[in-house]
Amino acid sequence: MIDLNQLCIEAGKAVWVLKADVVCLDHDGNVEDAALLSLCGALRSLKLPKPTFNERTGLVTVSASEEGIAVLVAWKMGTGALTQYLHRTDSSSLVLLHDLVPLTCVIAAGELVVDPSADVERVSSTKFTVVYSTGGQVSFGSCASDMGSGPLALLVFCETVGVRWN
């Protein structure tokens, strides 16, 4: 999804660490797909400050400017100790190599249901998700089944829609 080299501040010494918490306040089914799509949107709009690494002190800092975003800025590598707040900083966006597009289906009462509601999920015997990349590849597949046929259902579905595992 992203080139990890974009997260490098100083080779072998400092990198950006991206963490995301997705909080769902309410849903009516298929919450995993919605969470993945919102995470992709967050990465698309993420702005990383332009940092500098000081070899002598081991500090990563971001210099202030009139343009950009508000951030917490300087920390000593390995300690996690925040040493300074800056209000504005130059920034750059991450370049996404491709987006991820999830597709969740269930088998309920012998029928294939795409994008199931919470009610349909509750009565389904098998649930599977395939995540496509906009680059045309399957990035992930998962399956849960009460009947032991889940993985087979996933493979049959993928074969039906022309998915090829890489």
Concatenating the DSSP letter of every residue in 37-91 gives: HHHHHHHHH-EEE-EEEETTTTEEEE---SSS--EEEEEETTT--EEEEES---E
The model's pLDDT over 114-147, given as tens digits with 9 standing for 90+, comes to 899 999 999 988 888 888 888 777 766 676 666 5
Q: Which of 59, 56, 57 is nearest to 73 (CA)?
A: 59
Residue 144 placed within a domain: yes
Residues 46 and 76 in one domain: yes
Q: Which of 61, 93, 125 is the last residue of a domain?
A: 93
Q: Which of 51, 66, 93 is the last residue of a domain?
A: 93
* Structural domain count, the chain: 2
The model's pLDDT over 29-82, given as tens digits with 9 standing for 90+, comes to 888 899 999 998 888 888 887 788 888 888 888 765 545 444 444 444 444 444
Residue 73 placed within a domain: yes
Q: Which of 57, 76, 93 is the last residue of a domain?
A: 93
Residues 13 and 88 in one domain: yes
The predicted model scores a pTM of: 0.69
Domain that holds residue 107: 100-160
